[in-house]
């Protein structure tokens, strides 16, 4: 009888230890916010991740508020996700009425195509999305569909350092002229719960000055499925008057 009881206790302990090990090894939430550099990671199949935040930008006499901006990401199968993005935008400019409404909804997909190997070979993914001109309030409706495609990459430099970068192109909704996108972001894990990052990025059209910006921020992981973030930045080079900040929360369900 005692032997049977000991066997039962041992089995229960084994189950508890396995459960604790699984919880400890569960993948920590990874997000595409708050910076411009998109992460090559995708959402676990059949799980939903909601990334939302409030942002403020000021350039010259124009102020822009997103209250909020939101991204829904859903894992379709391994290495693939679909996503829907939009924002409730308020545009404030001196001597004019405020513009208030929903920006055009963007629908897209991301596919993770390569896992990193050592320092030299990065994680790679492709992100494609399109802005739907009629899925918006009148104040922000656009003339044409605006497709975008990006190559997303991230090198794992060490256990605590990562280097992310994007290259992409978007066809602008006004005239479908191509705008080129480039980003570079470095992040460092101060602990398992806190990460800091710095970033530079820009957008440029042919025969135009590039619109470049730089920012820095911090991410706080509250649980495996919950993250808080804060970021602030400034325009550089040809747009030094631009200032912006953002605070947000992400939840994996």
Q: Has residue 12 got a pLDDT over 60?
A: no
The span from the CA of 192 to the CA of 224, in Å, is 10
State the pLDDT at residue 8.
39
Q: What percent of the chain has pLDDT over 90?
A: 81
The CATH number of residue 167's host domain is: 2.40.160.40
Domain enclosing residue 241, as ranges:
2-252
Q: Has residue 197 got a pLDDT over 90?
A: yes
Is the predicted pLDDT of residue 20 greater than 70, yes or no?
no
Work out how many domains the chain is built from and give that number.
1
- Higher-pLDDT residue of 215, 93: 215
Average pLDDT of 243-251? 98
- State both tokens at 135: 């899925």
Lowest mean pLDDT among 54-58, 149-153, 240-244: 240-244
Residue 7 pLDDT level (bands cut at 50, 70, 90): low
> Residue holding tokens 């199949």?
45
To the question of pTM greater than 0.85 for the whole model, the response is yes
Q: What is the pLDDT of residues 39-90, one digit of tens each?
A: 999 999 999 999 999 999 999 889 999 999 999 999 999 999 999 999 999 9
């Amino acid at each position: 009888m005692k032997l049977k009881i000991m066997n039962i206790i041992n089995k229960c302990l084994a189950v508890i230890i396995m459960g604790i090990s699984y919880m400890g090894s569960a993948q920590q939430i990874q997000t595409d916010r708050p910076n411009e550099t998109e992460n090559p990671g995708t959402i676990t199949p059949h799980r939903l991740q909601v990334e939302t935040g409030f942002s403020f930008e000021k350039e010259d006499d124009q102020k822009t508020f997103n209250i909020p901006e939101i991204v829904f990401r859903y894992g379709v199968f391994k290495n693939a996700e679909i996503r829907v993005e939009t924002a409730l935008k308020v545009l404030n400019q001196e001597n004019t009425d405020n513009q208030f409404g929903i920006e055009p909804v963007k629908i897209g997909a991301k596919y993770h195509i390569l896992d990193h190997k050592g320092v030299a070979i990065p994680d790679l993914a492709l992100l494609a999305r399109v802005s739907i001109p009629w899925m918006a309030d009148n104040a922000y409706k656009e003339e044409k569909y605006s497709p975008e495609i990006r190559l997303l990459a991230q090198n794992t430099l060490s256990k605590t350092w990562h280097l992310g970068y994007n290259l992409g192109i978007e066809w602008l909704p006004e005239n479908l002229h191509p705008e080129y996108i480039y980003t570079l972001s470095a992040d460092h894990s101060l602990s398992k719960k806190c990460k800091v990052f710095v970033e530079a990025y820009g957008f440029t059209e042919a025969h135009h000055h590039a619109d470049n910006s730089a920012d820095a921020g911090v991410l706080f992981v509250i649980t495996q499925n919950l993250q808080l973030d804060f970021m602030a930045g400034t325009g550089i080079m040809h747009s030094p008057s631009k200032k912006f900040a953002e605070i947000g929360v992400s939840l994996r369900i």
